[in-house]
Amino acid sequence: MPNAFNFSASPFDGLSNDERQLVRDSVDIAYFQEGETILEPGVLPTHLFVVIKGVVHQLDGDEVVASFGKDDTFDGRSLVAGKVSSRFVAKEEVLAYQLTRDAVTELISRNATFGALLFADLSNKLSALSKRSSQHEMQSLAMARVHEAAVRPITEVDADLDIVAVARVFNDERTDRVLVRDRRSEPERLGIFTTTGLQRAILHGRPLHELPVRELATFRLVTVRPEAYLFDAQAMMIRHQVRRVVVSELLPSGGERILGTLDQLDLLSFLSNHSYLITRQILEAKDLAELKPAAGQLTRLIALLHRGGTPVRLIARLVQELNAQLFDRAWHLIAPPELVANSCLFVMGSEGRGEQLLKTDQDNALVLRDGYQAPADLAEICERFSATLADFGYPECPGRIMVNNPTWRMQESEFAQLVRRWLMTPDAEGLMALAIFFDAHAVCGDAGLLERVRGEVFRLVLDNDVLMARFAAAIHSFDHAHGWWNRLRLLGEDDALFDIKKAGLFPLVHGVRSLALAHRVTATGTEARIDALAAEHRLPPDLATSMVDSLHLFMRLRLDAGLQALERGEAYRGIALDQLSSLDRDLLKDALAVVKRFKNLLSQRFRLDML
């Protein structure tokens, strides 16, 4: 066979030298004319095909269900099953390698990853890829756990101990923090006291030997489990604005044991990124001019983490926390304190769900406390906030879903009335607004204001099957003659841009949102909603796993394309299918098949065929 066989393409990129030689000894080249049938049901499969040139269509009846281009492999599943289940036709002249069935069987027996990538479902393929790259991933913070970092032991003292005695513990134990147990509290409580508290103790005024540590300890512990990802610990430090978290584990008896503390500096020594510096820039900014550079650093941080192999779900989690800090600080710098205290600023859409990566359109709103007299210049304040975010690189929403739009800033009772109107007279615009609002996430002010309005949604949606059907029907908004399978047929053509949001992300996210609303799942993130629905047996476990995998794949492919567009100085317009690797094209097809299966489930659940 020619030496040009591409061993860098999936699933051949994981073969050993001996396995590659087996391929060379067992492969030949085949030619097929345009329109010629390569495989069809009823034929015994004898070869695995790898496209060298041209495009092959897989058809069920007259429907094109998959397309294969350069370096794509087909039909491994037929070889394993021993029968062909679909028809494969050359869309144009096709040149392909054909690898014998005996060689494929041998490779599967020798190399489990090869077999998984060849015919397994999406989740098993991703699992195989994860195992293959585990050595590299374990060197990344994204895969590191809290217990792998420097968890420092902590000494426990009684809350009645005076400050001088605690200072002696600091000196004797060579530590700068102690755990404080208050046994006189009902129920008993645990807190933490650090050297920072010594400054407050000196300024307190009472003699230090008469001042019990309970009066200055912090009893709101921020805790993590030892098995948590370090990224989760970092995100918690950012959210709670603390420099350390307490590491605790659950005991078989049901109790809890404190293992120690994880300090920010220790975590940062394990992780080489700039999120801590961005956080400090945000928190220490005295005006908007000082805050703007922090916003500019976010995209560079995302690119750095992505290139380092950090999974997109962890990047998105960190981005959500940093954006929340940024928006919170900007709002505090713009709005008077009384307005901040009597309102709740919240974000929606992908930002609300914690699934935003690169900056997208603003989706935010403001709910005011009933009876609160807003400042006369409220409109100007909100206009300035929206303009500030635009200056920071967050484009204005074309639909004006922003605080500078009076429709998206009002008192709690008015917002509740608006939600009722969306639900009781559900036109297309109202259903879209309801969908956006259902993903709301508080970033500043009194979060209780938002939660009470969100509670109105669950109260009114009770047993309203017609409303839920109309709400869920939006999953078919982008179904048309040039659907996603047809878009995949554009492999190799010029300007073959694929809208992964319309084809994959939107039906998946909105379908999950619809089920969450119908079953009163309060989580706002798509993955958290899927987990909750699966736990309640509203989704088959295998489908739920595949949906989460598909969500993360869509996010990763979109991030890849977005970063590439930024590097070219262009705006993101879509994914160039002809520039995807054969592995990514294969994974994309599998993920879109998962979406199709999920849409069929939703159609049955909400009887969408009756609309």
Is the previous residue joined to 426 through a cis bond, with omega within 30 degrees of 0?
no
CA distance readout (Å), 57 to 5, 127, 179, 346, 479: 22, 27, 66, 47, 20
Q: What is the pLDDT of residue 129?
A: 63
- Indicate the pLDDT class of residue 263, thresholds 50, 70 and 90: confident
β 364-368/343-347 pair status = antiparallel
CA distance readout (Å), 124 to 78, 218, 443, 495, 545: 18, 46, 37, 32, 10
- Indicate the pLDDT class of residue 131, thresholds 50, 70 and 90: low
**H-type alpha helices, 120-206:** 122-132, 134-137, 163-173, 195-204
Q: Is 466 helix (H, G, I), strand (E, B) or coil?
A: helix
Domains detected in the chain: 12-119 (2.60.120.10), 146-270 (3.10.580.10), 325-460 (3.30.460), 471-610 (1.20.120)
For the ranges 83-87, 124-128, 369-373, which has the lowest average pLDDT? 124-128
Residue of 410 and 492 predicted with greater confidence: 410
Residues 475-514 have pLDDT tens digits of 888 775 344 444 454 444 445 678 899 889 999 999 999 9
Mean pLDDT of 433-461: 90
Q: What is the pLDDT of residue 492?
A: 41
Q: Is the pLDDT of residue 260 over 80?
A: yes
Q: Answer yes or no: are the C-beta atoms of 97 and 582 closer than 8 Å.
A: no
- Indicate the pLDDT class of residue 1, thresholds 50, 70 and 90: very low
Q: What mean pLDDT value characterizes the chain?
A: 86
Q: Answer yes or no: are the C-beta atoms of 457 and 514 closer than 8 Å.
A: no
Residues 306-343 have pLDDT tens digits of 877 778 888 898 899 899 999 999 999 999 999 999 99
Q: What is the pLDDT of residue 269?
A: 61
Residues 159-168 have pLDDT tens digits of 999 999 999 9
- Indicate the pLDDT class of residue 37, thresholds 50, 70 and 90: very high
Highest mean pLDDT among 92-101, 461-470, 573-582: 92-101
Sign of CA dihedral 63, 11, 75, 55: positive
Please give the helix or strand (H or E) that residue 459 lies within, else none: helix 447-460
Sequence-ordered list of residues with C-beta below 8 angstroms from that of 39, at least 6 positions apart, any chain:
45, 74, 75, 78, 84, 86, 87, 88
Q: Is the pLDDT of residue 452 over 70?
A: yes
Give residue 249's region: left, alpha or beta (phi > 0; psi -120 to 50): beta
Report the alpha-carbon distance of residue 560 to residue 548 in Å, rounded. Answer: 18
Q: Is the pLDDT of residue 277 over 80?
A: no
